Amino acid sequence: MDKTGRDRQWNLWYLLSAVLGVLFLRLVFMQWQLGEPLPYSEFLQELKSDNVKEVAIFDNEIQGVLSHPRTNGRTAFVTTRVDKQLAEELALHNVKFSGVIRSTLLRDILGWIIPAVLFFGIWMFVIRRMMEKGGLGSGFMSIGKSHAKVYVEQNTRVTFDDVAGVDEAKEELQEVIGFLRDPASYGRLGARVPRGILLVGPPGTGKTLLARAVAGEASVPFFSINGSEFVEMFVGVGAARVRDMFEQARQKSPAIIFIDEIDALGRARGAYGLGGHDEKEQTLNQLLAELDGFDTASGLVLLAATNRPEILDPALLRAGRFDRQILVDRPDKKGRIQILDVHLRKVKLAGGVDREQIAALTPGFSGADLANLVNEAALLATRHARAAVALEDFTAAIERIVAGLEKKNRLINPLEREVVAYHEMGHALVALALPGSDSVHKVSIIPRGIGSLGYTIQRPIEDRFLMTQQELENKMAVLLGGRAAEQLIFERATTGAADDLVKVTEIARSMVTRYGMSRALGQLSYEGNRNVFLPAPAAEYQSEIRNYSETTAREIDCAVREIVDAAFLRASAILRENRTGLEAGAKKLLDKETLNEDEVKAFAPHPALPAAP
Query: Could you give the residue numbers annotated as active site?
Result: 424
Beta bridge partners of 568: none
The CA angle 454-455-459, to the nearest 5 degrees, is: 165
Separation of CA 117 from chain center: 41
Task: Report how far residue 84's alpha carbon sits from residue 102's, in angstroms, rounded to the nearest whole number.
Answer: 19
Task: Report how far residue 262's alpha carbon sits from residue 259's, in angstroms, rounded to the nearest whole number.
Answer: 6
Whether residue 495 contacts residue 482, with contact meaning beta carbons closer than 8 Å, is answered with no
Peptide bond before residue 203 is cis, with ω within 30 degrees of 0: no
Q: Which amino acid appears at position 149 of this protein? A: K
Q: Where is 213: in which H helix or E strand?
A: helix 207-218
The CA angle 448-454-456, to the nearest 5 degrees, is: 110
Task: Report how far residue 151's alpha carbon sits from residue 303's, in angstroms, rounded to the nearest whole number.
Answer: 14
Task: Report how far residue 109's alpha carbon sits from residue 91's, in angstroms, rounded to the nearest whole number.
Answer: 38
Closest CA to 226 of 258, 190, 180, 273: 258
Whether residue 77 contacts residue 55, with contact meaning beta carbons closer than 8 Å, is answered with no
Torsion of CA 371, 377, 382, 385, to 10 degrees: -160
Whether residue 415 contacts residue 593, with contact meaning beta carbons closer than 8 Å, is answered with no
Query: What Å distances lie between residue 584 and 142, 210, 598, 600, CA to CA?
Result: 73, 52, 15, 10
Edge-to-edge order in the sheet of strand 222-226: 149-151, 222-226, 255-260, 300-306, 196-200, 322-327
Tell me the three state secondary structure of residue 301: strand
> Taking the alpha carbons of 224, 229, 231, 235 in that order, is the dihedral positive or negative?
negative
Closest CA to 456 of 496, 494, 488, 491: 496
Whether residue 217 contacts residue 160, with contact meaning beta carbons closer than 8 Å, is answered with yes
Task: Report how far residue 197's alpha carbon sits from residue 169's, in angstroms, rounded to the nearest whole number.
Answer: 11
Task: Report how far residue 150's alpha carbon sits from residue 587's, in angstroms, rounded to the nearest whole number.
Answer: 62
Q: What is the DSSP letter of 55?
A: E
Q: What is the DSSP letter of 193?
A: -
Task: Report how far residue 302's alpha carbon sits from residue 195's, in angstroms, rounded to the nearest whole number.
Answer: 6
Peptide bond before residue 607 is cis, with ω within 30 degrees of 0: yes
Whether residue 194 contacts residue 301, with contact meaning beta carbons closer than 8 Å, is answered with yes
